[in-house]
Amino acid sequence: MSEPAPARLAAFSYALPEELIAQEPAAERSDARLLVVERETARLQHRGIPDLVELLHPGDVLVVNDARVVPARVYGRRPSGGRLELLLLRPVAEGEWESLVRGRPRAGERIVFPEGEGQWIRPLGAGRWRIRLAVAPDVPGWLERVGEVPLPPYIRRSDGPTAADARRYQTVFARSPGAVAAPTAGLHFTPELLGTLAARGVSHVPLTLHVGPGTFLPIRDGELDTYTMEGERFDLPEATVAAIEGARRQGGRVVAVGTTTTRALEAAAAGGALRPGAGVATLFISPGHRFRVVDALLTNFHLPRTPLLAMVAAFAGWSLVQRAYETAVEARYRFYSYGDAMLLT
C-alpha cells in the first residue's frame, strides 16, 4: 500500500542549517558527493559522482537538459537615482519583456541601464513587471555585454557573481540559450565522465527545457490538487525519443538528469506515448503522479515547499525522501545549486 500523500505543498519541508547551503561550486565538477536512494529497498548509500560509472548499467540512457543560462540579471537607475534590480524572464512582444523586479517601479516611469534604457508598462503581480526596452542591437546581445549570471538569492557573496560563475553555472552540454536558472543536476558532469560512461555503454541524449521562475520559486501556500504550475518551453528531439525507445527495448533504464528533464519527459508523455516536438510544460508532478518515462533520477537537493521537492517526493515517496534529506543534513552534504546530488534508482 502506498503512503498517503501530503495535502499541501507546505508539508514538503525540512530543517537545514544555513551553513550547508553551498556558496561556491566544488573544486571540480565531478567532486560532488552522491546520496544513492534505492526506492525498492529504502536503502541509502553514501557515494560520489564518479561512482555513476558503477551505479549506471550498460544500456541505460541519460537524458540531459541542454538549456543555456543567459546573463539575465541587470541593474538600472530611476530618474530619481534609485537603483533597481531586474531579472529578465522572457520576451512577450516586440521590444517588451516580462521581468522580476527588486524595487518599486511606477507605470510609465523610465529606467536607465548601461547602454540603453527602458520604460515600465504595467505590473503583472508577484513582483513581475512588463517593461519596454530600448537597447541596441538586440536584447540577447545587450545582455551578453551588460548582464550578469543570475545566481540564486541563497548564494550570498559580498562580491556577487564572478567570472568563474559564468562557466561553472553552465553545464558542459549547454547549447540552447533561454534559461534563467541552471539545470543544476547537469553541473556535475564533465566531458571525461561522459566519455567513460559512453565507453561502458551508457549514452546521453539531450532535450531542452528553458528553466523559469515557476521551477524554483517556493510556494508559500496552496493545496496540491489546485496548484497551477507555471509553463516552461521545451523541445524534445526525435533522436532523443528514438534513443529512449531503443534503450527500453533492450532493457535499459531512462535516467533523467534533473527535475527539469523529468518534467519535460513526463509532459511530453502526458497523452500516453512519448512524443517529440516543441511545447509548453505546465505539468505539476506531485505524489500520485504516474511516471511514464523516467526510471531513475539524478537530482540536487531542493528548497522546501517547492514544486521540485514535491516532484522528488512523487518519485520516491515523501517518507523516504524526508529520511534521505535528514541523512544528508546529518552527513553534512552541501545543498542546492552548487551542492551535492542524489541518485534515486
Q: Say if residue 52's pLDDT is above 90.
A: yes
Residue 190 lies in a domain: yes
| Residue 5 or residue 69, greater confidence | 69
Q: Say what the pLDDT of residue 26 is.
A: 94
| Residue 80 or residue 76, greater confidence | 76
DSSP state of 47: E
Residue 226 lies in a domain: yes
What does residue 212 show for φ and ψ, rounded to 5 degrees? -120, -175
Q: Read off the pTM.
A: 0.93
Question: Which residues have C-beta within 8 Å of that of residue 229, sequence separation ≥ 6?
Answer: 214, 281, 282, 283, 284, 307
CB 65 within 8 A of CB 212: no
Task: Report the distance separating Cα 174 and Cα 289, nearest Å.
Answer: 29
> Within this chain, do residues 42 and 169 fall inside the same structural domain, yes or no?
yes
> Within this chain, do residues 277 and 214 fall inside the same structural domain, yes or no?
yes
Residue 2 lies in a domain: no
Q: Say if residue 76's pLDDT is above 70.
A: yes
Q: Say if residue 10's pLDDT is above 90.
A: no
> Within this chain, do residues 225 and 270 fall inside the same structural domain, yes or no?
yes
Name the pLDDT band for 326 (thresholds 50, 70, 90).
very high
> Within this chain, do residues 227 and 336 fall inside the same structural domain, yes or no?
yes
> Within this chain, do residues 228 and 188 fall inside the same structural domain, yes or no?
yes
Residue 158 lies in a domain: no
Q: Say if residue 220's pLDDT is above 70.
A: no
Q: Say if residue 183's pLDDT is above 80.
A: yes
- Mean pLDDT, residues 90-101 taken together: 93
Listed residue (212, 314, 305) closest to 256, CA to CA: 314
- Mean pLDDT, residues 240-265 taken together: 97
> Within this chain, do residues 125 and 252 fall inside the same structural domain, yes or no?
no
CATH number at residue 88: 2.40.10.240
- Mean pLDDT, residues 217-229 taken together: 69
Q: Say if residue 2's pLDDT is above 90.
A: no
Q: Say what the pLDDT of residue 269 is.
A: 97
Q: Which of 146, 180, 206 is the last residue of a domain?
A: 146
Name the pLDDT band for 218 (thresholds 50, 70, 90).
low
| Residue 127 or residue 61, greater confidence | 61
Q: Say what the pLDDT of residue 1 is.
A: 43
Q: Say what the pLDDT of residue 125 is.
A: 86
Q: Say what the pLDDT of residue 9 is.
A: 76
Total residues found in the chain within this entry: 345
Question: Which residues have C-beta within 8 Å of that of residue 218, sequence separation ≥ 6?
Answer: 303, 304, 305, 306
What does residue 135 show for φ and ψ, rounded to 5 degrees? -135, 155
Q: Say if residue 221's pLDDT is above 70.
A: no
> Within this chain, do residues 183 and 267 fall inside the same structural domain, yes or no?
yes
Average pLDDT, the chain: 93
112-116, 200-204, 217-221: range with lowest mean pLDDT: 217-221
- Mean pLDDT, residues 275-282 taken together: 95
- The count of domains in the chain is 2
DSSP count for the chain of H helices, then E strands: 9, 17
Residue 123 lies in a domain: yes
> Within this chain, do residues 55 and 196 fall inside the same structural domain, yes or no?
yes
- Mean pLDDT, residues 57-64 taken together: 98
> Within this chain, do residues 25 and 84 fall inside the same structural domain, yes or no?
no
Q: Say what the pLDDT of residue 126 is.
A: 83
